[in-house]
Structure 1
Amino acid sequence: MWNRAIKNRLIWLTVLVLLTIGLNVLMAFPEWIEVNYSRTFYPIFSYLPKFLFSWIPFSVGDLFYAGIVVFLLVLLGKSIVSLFKKKFSESLKAFLTLLVSLLGIYAFFNISWGLNYYRIPVSKQMGIAVDTVRLEDHLTVLEAHIETANLLRSGLDWRNQDRSGINQDIEGLMQDDVVFPMLSNSQVKIKNPLFNSFASYMGVSGYFNPFTHEAHINGAMPMAGYPFTVSHELAHQMGIGFEDECNFIAFVKLKDHQNSFYRYAAYYESVRYLLNSLYLVDKGLFEQYKDRLSEKVLADLKEEQEYWKRYTGWISDVSGLFYDQYLKHNNQAEGMARYGMVSRLIINYSVRDLIR
């Protein structure tokens, strides 16, 4: 009986290894992935998780993650305990089940959403150069965005803003698109995590679950960047993998919105990323341009910094390390630094518009 069970697991293991090899071969062909996966298969497949999970008011994906972790730990523990008890067949069976499960999760991750990491970059599809950024252009765009952010912030009061209303507004905005034809409109829905506080302790303002296709927004995060983060996570849900590109899409979608708060969120985040990238180039210029921010914009930055500082600890450190490695293993060698690379897109896109 045990031999038959082990044999069946070895067959599944072989099939999954071959499938994994095939998926990794496809990753070398972004044009094929763009046409056949990201623009054909993924938009159709997305209807399945939409039908199964989008109507459920809480995060199914959070429960899925918890269940998977427990399941894998139980299998690992069973394999180790059986080995010490010299029950070698049971130990091997549990270990093979663990391997099959891990490979199955990896394969489903890529089929469900992960291959979007290997599609043609948005920058290439839109003809935006990202190889070089002139300091002169950087300063020109930063100055313009600082002026816009200061002006917009002067007349804003978001104390009565309803976050659920913001979610609905941004969902509608993301579905109505002519700028980014590469986005999938099959499912555009944002949710809160099961526990906003746990997301904060992890240092997370939002995240996307590639298994259930649920986009999440931390409902407790500071308000200034809230609309931007909603747009970012929905861009993931709509088939964009690279973090800088999701940031860029959020900026472009919000910068001309009729709602001045949403416009401010776009320019607030743009200024933050442009200042951070300038700091890496010239700390003196960074200080000069930071001093141009209004007191209200500086207060928003301080509020955000203090909020995340309250939750900084070993959980956020481990979460950050894990996600950094996750990104590096999914076609983003820069890891967490990829978020900040949105500055290249914003600068060169803005300069191109000025030239036109």
Structure 2
Amino acid sequence: MHGEYKVPGGKLVVVDLAVRDGRLADVRLSGDFFLEPDDALEAIDAALTGLPADADAEDVAGRVRSALPRDAVLLGFTPEAVATTVRRAVGGATGWLDHDWQFVHTAPQSPLTHMALDEVLTREVAAGRRGPTLRVWEWASRAVVLGSFQSVVNEVDREAADRFDVEVVRRISGGGAMFVEPGNTITYSLYAPGSLVEGLSFTESYAFLDDWVLVALGDLGVKAWYQPINDITTEQGKIAGAAQKRLGDGTVLHHVTMSYDIDAAKMVQVLRIGREKLSGKGLASAAKRVDPLRRQTGLPREEVIDSMVATFRRQYGLTDAPLTDAELAAADELVRTKFATPEWVGRIP
């Protein structure tokens, strides 16, 4: 069995092993990490050999830690990373390069259509009718996108939303509300089989699925890191938030909204929570904006997106695969029967 795990912001950890009579055998740890002293590698292999194959990550990490000499130095990985890699190997996890990634980037769509497309494409990947996919969104109009479990009245000032022609929609993933306007954010979704995140905790899977974005931002001169559970941040503050939804078979929807250049004054009038978060940060003036990607890259939004997609393509491969007529029809039907209904939008009033 073979498992790989790229530590977010760190190094690649690889393990090859067998399972005999319910226990780990022939364990061989490798990777591009740094480890001193040199013989600590053999000590880890020996410590893991014979461990029950169903040992949880905490037990595996504890066995690794107990095998390390007092003066051991681990750079780019941790005992927990080794444990994650072992669990991925035993669980039959796949890696990014095991999949033929598809790419969707269409003309602007309505907020309701975007909500529906996320559900449709997740189910298409689960059914095997579409390969794992990266989709970059383009917004046709202003919206507040509520997390699946948020209250409308607690999050949105409906009077301000109506005044600014902001549509209120609800997505299928949890997390917080987002305020979007055409051209002011960068939003993308990943639709992937559960095998890609096999062996990862929910917290680990967030960072794992967005590690490529950190590389892409680094290529643009932006030093960013993942702030658990679901934020991407820099020294100048948060620039993105992620959310996930898992289907019963493990298929994962992972989507991220990044702030390119948001009108903070408008946002704090529409989002109630935004007033609390931003009132103490000098952003109440109409002259202020939340513009980390525009300011930190100095590039047009389209160039930032092109660079991000190029990074993904370089690392994992990417083939253009436009939305099919069947997918668009299914999204239209879901808008009609679910996402545009008062029962869904107001499921938590």
Q: Which TM bucket (shorter chain)?
A: under 0.3
Q: Where is the helix percentage greater, Structure 1 or Structure 2?
A: 1
Greater strand share, 1 or 2?
A: 2
With structure 2 as the length reference, what TM-score do the two structures score?
A: 0.26
Q: Higher relative contact order by CA 8 Å / sep ≥ 6: 1 or 2? A: 1
